[in-house]
């Protein structure tokens, strides 16, 4: 029994700690699965979870974090909607001696003493996997056969780590093939509706689009609606690459409406609660915990679809 310090009687390795979690929002299927994983694991591990949804607004997340500091929770975890602008509030948590765990998305700060650890995916690598697939499948991806592969990119939330990194990783890989060119790129805010609207404008403004690269499944699914409405066949007339591998995305992939999905794992609850207990108990944890992920083509999606949990 090493834990259980503090006047509140919380903490300790037997659970019973209080966590304030400031979630990004409910913008995507990924986010819904992530929230459920965190809430379910908190329950089963006996963690008293205070949960807030920031509706994709940084100011709401900052407010939530401040309220968790005021409530003297044992640990704060959050998924920063954008990368920058966190130093002030994180310093407040540090001064209040409340440890902070970054979950899913990271912050861009020079001072890494402002948080204990960062649990989440390697988003640059996800973008690289998407780019590698396109380079390897360049011939089939030149749908109109004009010798150039015109890509439109549906970006995630502006300033968010996964939007910045997935763009960077993809760009670095497609640079290997001169015939591949990103002709337009705009944010769809990680939502289905955003993806649909941006794709509608791209279909009007760009001639001969061969490929859509969407930073998440939801925007890709929105693009599918726009492509169908324009009288074309998604996955055939326009190739589609997305990231996440949620059930709706995997269903579209197995039906041939998406061509390739890079997996991003939202089930972070178990690892998060484990890290939180260790941090509160004063145990050492690695500064970075990367989640393991794979990729799916159409055949692979059809094989695993039944077992997909989310
Ligand atoms: O890919 C997207 C969600 O931060 C990894 O956020 C997460 C991203 C995920 O809205 O669907």
Average per-residue pLDDT for the chain: 95
The number of beta carbons lying within 10 Å of the beta carbon of residue 70 is: 11
Atom of ligand 1 nearest to the CA of 27: 10
Distance between Cα 231 and ligand 1 center (Å)? 29
Distance between Cα 182 and ligand 1 center (Å)? 22
Instruction: Give the model's pLDDT for residue 139.
Output: 96
Which residues neighbour 22 within 8 Å (Cβ) at sequence distance 6 or greater?
52, 54, 61, 64, 65, 68, 76, 77, 78, 79
Give me the interface pTM, i.e. the ipTM. 0.99
Q: Is 83 in the pocket of ligand 1 (CB under 6 A)?
A: no
* Edge-first strand listing for the sheet containing 211-214: 180-187, 149-155, 211-214, 239-244, 260-263, 295-297
Q: Is 191 in the pocket of ligand 1 (CB under 6 A)?
A: no
Pocket test for ligand 1, best of 30, 83, 169, 193 (most atoms within 8 A of CB): 30
Q: Is 310 in the pocket of ligand 1 (CB under 6 A)?
A: no
Instruction: Give the model's pLDDT for residue 7.
Output: 38
- Reported as a single tens digit per residue, the pLDDT across 162-217 is 999 999 999 999 999 999 999 999 999 999 999 999 999 999 999 999 999 999 99
Q: Is 104 in the pocket of ligand 1 (CB under 6 A)?
A: yes
Percent of the chain with pLDDT over 70: 95
In this model, does residue 3 exceed pLDDT 60?
Answer: no
For the chain, counts of helices (H) and of strands (E): 11, 12
In this model, does residue 4 exceed pLDDT 70?
Answer: no
Instruction: Give the model's pLDDT for residue 15.
Output: 47
Between vectors from CA 193 to CA 203 and to CA 210, what angle results, nearest 5°? 30
In this model, does residue 223 exceed pLDDT 80?
Answer: yes
Between vectors from CA 22 to CA 16 and to CA 24, what angle results, nearest 5°? 140
Instruction: Give the model's pLDDT for residue 16.
Output: 83
Rg, C-alpha atoms of the chain: 21
Instruction: Give the model's pLDDT for residue 73.
Output: 98
Distance between Cα 171 and ligand 1 center (Å)? 19
- Reported as a single tens digit per residue, the pLDDT across 115-137 is 999 999 999 999 999 999 999 99
Atom of ligand 1 nearest to the CA of 160: 4
In this model, does residue 46 exceed pLDDT 90?
Answer: yes
Separation between Cα atoms, residue 129 and residue 300, nearest integer Å: 16
Distance between Cα 301 and ligand 1 center (Å)? 20
In the block, residue with structure tokens 């692979």: 300
pLDDT (mean) for 240-258: 98
Reference 173, options 213, 145, 146; nearest CA is 213
Atom of ligand 1 nearest to the CA of 215: 1
């Amino acid at each position: 029994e090493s834990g259980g310090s503090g006047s509140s009687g919380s903490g300790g390795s037997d659970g019973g700690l209080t966590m304030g979690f400031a979630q990004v929002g409910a913008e995507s299927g990924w986010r819904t699965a992530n929230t459920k994983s965190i809430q379910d694991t908190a329950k089963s591990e006996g963690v008293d979870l205070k949960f807030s949804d920031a509706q994709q607004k940084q100011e709401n997340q900052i407010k939530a974090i401040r309220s968790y500091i005021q409530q003297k929770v044992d640990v704060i975890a959050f998924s920063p909607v954008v990368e920058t602008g966190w130093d002030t509030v994180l310093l407040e948590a540090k001064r209040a001696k409340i440890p902070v765990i970054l979950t899913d998305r990271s912050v861009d700060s020079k001072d890494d003493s402002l948080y204990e650890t960062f649990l989440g995916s390697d988003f640059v690598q996800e973008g690289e996997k998407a780019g590698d697939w396109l380079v390897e499948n360049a011939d089939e991806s030149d749908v109109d056969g004009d010798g150039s592969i015109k890509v439109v990119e549906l970006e995630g939330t502006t300033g968010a780590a996964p939007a910045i990194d997935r763009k960077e990783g993809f760009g670095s890989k497609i640079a290997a093939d001169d015939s591949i060119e990103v002709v337009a790129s705009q944010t769809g805010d990680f939502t289905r509706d955003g993806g649909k609207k941006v794709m509608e404008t791209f279909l009007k403004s760009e001639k001969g689009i061969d490929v859509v690269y969407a930073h998440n499944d939801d925007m890709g699914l929105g693009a599918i609606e726009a492509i169908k409405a324009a009288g074309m066949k998604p996955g055939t007339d326009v190739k589609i690459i997305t990231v996440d591998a949620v059930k709706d995305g995997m269903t579209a992939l197995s039906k041939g409406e998406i061509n390739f999905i890079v997996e991003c794992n939202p089930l972070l609850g178990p690892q998060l609660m484990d890290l939180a207990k260790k941090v509160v108990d004063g145990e050492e944890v690695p500064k970075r915990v990367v989640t393991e992920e794979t990729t799916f083509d159409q055949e692979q999606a059809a094989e695993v679809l039944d077992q997909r949990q989310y």
